[in-house]
Structure 1
């Protein structure tokens, strides 16, 4: 299970670069990465910061988190709202540059990363995802689905009041997305308590899982949340939500390659305080063409995945990062959790 929040580093201009690099280096060292892995992280961060300086006038931000519990590696996401790239694949080739430099930056990031992804569109900006693991044994196990997320506290806050859980089981995966009421320490306590209850005794039925959470967090501030069970043997997504937590299940309809979606509807209420007398688990079809996106209200509700050509072909973390970049309210904690069938 991986429930780590991202640390946010805003880089409005070049004067922030040196301090940002030092802070991320200290983070990497605190994650007990080897000296060689820390060196690779330094190269990745240096190239990301250089790209922000060269290609954006408003800077950007880096999101960094530990991967796994116990920690298996580090994830670094670079986001900007710059001019974007007309041909991202071409820019990955060494010697190709729009700035007149040696053109090795993106290639260097990719070479130093165990997992790498790049999404860029003209007039949209760029998202780069890089992951460095402690060893090849620490890298994710291949499954019939991929999961990624962005979870960031409210600007200027340290504690994140959102939370999530990912529990793999023999038939698929259990998912939980939570938003503790408000933000800060008390919101984090509510979300953390709910995640602990969910993980200590996973309940396959999402509605029953939320009932257990409701009972267990009565002494906290409360939370809204959505529990889901994806059963890949039955091609079924079961889910239940309480409160203002949003979800959409996207389908790639062949042969037109047009994204359509169904809203994942939640019941009114607040876990730990007041929930409907009756609420039930709902179900939708799940197959290799599906993408589930669940998010807290730190993300604006009116976003459209079809605005981003071919984004659905990228890593779930990249999808989450693009949505965060363009649609985060910046007035609350933000969680975007993405599960993509393979």
Structure 2
């Protein structure tokens, strides 16, 4: 089973005059991907509540919405994913604030509760001084994943991928290949940004999806051979083996990988080089344990390198996409495409 995931569309929102435009554009995305009138109505209401919260709480700090369609393994639309990034003051008890009538702003306090009720999946993270991230998903009829779905893979994965401001496509890319023994995850960053970087990543993903499932180092060599006619890319592959409870990793260039377990941080090492141009004669995998509670973050250089997970109490307990969104909110450079992929071992 192979997966290739698209980018989020980015909607900055600091002025009420843009609210109707943002709501209209996101509604068109939902309709274009086959959501029914009722499902699109849910999306519109969630976006309205998210945007209203942003405009109330981020008058000077700013905020944004990230939106994308979700797809199943056959490429069919599953639904819509919406993320609200709020750089306001944050809340000490966000779950209490979702009770109708409770508000930090003196309003009726119905926004967060309404978003949760209309969502098929909902998660929120907020801390005083750190702002708030809200994750909402609306699924098409019959497409919502069952609670036990994919549990045999022993991990959960989520990501945020946003093109450089002003670009329509991302030069970053990622893909996932699943099997009953585990999974292979590829993260790529085409050199530069725009269409040519996007094409380099797409060709790298195609090579990854077609290459026999060998070691990460061998698969990276296969990608290197296949993208020589592009401008090149940096990339890394992680392989989780459920049978041996192990993780193998190999990287070429400045894709960052960090492994978190039992309060410990381990930085993954990558070789110097560029896929499609020049790679070292000898490259080998690193091998680590992979057990329940372990968490891995892989990202392109669109994210600042000096972020600190310890800054966010209890964040690792949340959905992997929400974790990626929080790291993006506080650490994106905004001068390049940004990709953050988070993988957590399931209990």
| TM-score, structure 1 as length reference | 0.96
C-alpha distance 301-23 of structure 1, shift in aligned 2 (>3 A): same
Residue of structure 1 aligned with 2:107, choices 97, 101, 105: 101
Please, what is the CA RMSD of the aligned residues?
1.1
Show the 5 A alignment for 1:205-284: 205-251=215-261, 253=262, 259-284=263-288
Q: Specify the alignment match of 1:23 in structure 2.
A: 25
Distance in 1, matches of 2:114 and 2:150, equals: 25
Q: Specify the alignment match of 1:256 in structure 2.
A: none
Corresponding position: 1:11 with 2:13? yes
Corresponding position: 1:339 with 2:310? no
Distance in 1, matches of 2:145 and 2:219, equals: 29
Structure 1: 4+ residue segments shifted above 6 A: none
Distance in 2, matches of 1:167 and 1:41, equals: 30
Corresponding position: 1:159 with 2:163? no
Distance in 1, matches of 2:323 and 2:34, equals: 28
Shift, 1:233, TM fit: 1.8
Q: Specify the alignment match of 1:45 in structure 2.
A: 47
Distance in 2, matches of 1:11 and 1:184, equals: 24
Distance in 1, matches of 2:114 and 2:211, equals: 44
Distance in 2, matches of 1:13 and 1:71, equals: 31
Q: Specify the alignment match of 2:307 in structure 1.
A: 303
Corresponding position: 1:319 with 2:319? no
Shift, 1:138, TM fit: 4.1
Distance in 2, matches of 1:137 and 1:71, equals: 9
| TM-score, structure 2 as length reference | 0.95
Shift, 1:93, TM fit: 1.2
Distance in 2, matches of 1:132 and 1:97, equals: 25
C-alpha distance 157-97 of structure 1, shift in aligned 2 (>3 A): same
Contact kept in structure 1, 2:14 and 2:58, CA below 8 Å? no
Shift, 1:104, TM fit: 1.1
Shift, 1:139, TM fit: 2.1
Show the 5 A alignment for 1:38-77: 38-58=40-60, 59-68=62-71, 69-77=75-83
Q: Specify the alignment match of 2:98 in structure 1.
A: 92
Q: Tell me the secondary structure at the aligned position of residue 298 of structure 2.
A: strand
Q: Tell me the secondary structure at the aligned position of residue 77 of structure 2.
A: coil
Contact kept in structure 1, 2:13 and 2:55, CA below 8 Å? no
Contact kept in structure 2, 1:250 and 1:290, CA below 8 Å? yes
Shift, 1:50, TM fit: 0.6
Q: Tell me the secondary structure at the aligned position of residue 209 of structure 1.
A: helix
Show the 5 A alignment for 1:111-150: 111-139=117-145, 141-143=149-151, 144-150=154-160
Distance in 2, matches of 1:204 and 1:77, equals: 35
Shift, 1:130, TM fit: 0.5
Residue of structure 2 aligned with 1:180, choices 190, 193, 196: 190
Segments of 5+ residues of structure 1 without an aligned counterpart are 254-258
Q: Tell me the secondary structure at the aligned position of residue 234 of structure 1.
A: coil
Q: Specify the alignment match of 1:170 in structure 2.
A: 180
Segments of 5+ residues of structure 2 without an aligned counterpart are none
Distance in 1, matches of 2:35 and 2:159, equals: 22
Contact kept in structure 2, 1:8 and 1:62, CA below 8 Å? yes
Distance in 2, matches of 1:282 and 1:201, equals: 20
Contact kept in structure 1, 2:79 and 2:143, CA below 8 Å? no
Contact kept in structure 2, 1:204 and 1:229, CA below 8 Å? no
Q: Tell me the secondary structure at the aligned position of residue 72 of structure 1.
A: strand
Distance in 2, matches of 1:202 and 1:176, equals: 14
Distance in 2, matches of 1:81 and 1:47, equals: 16
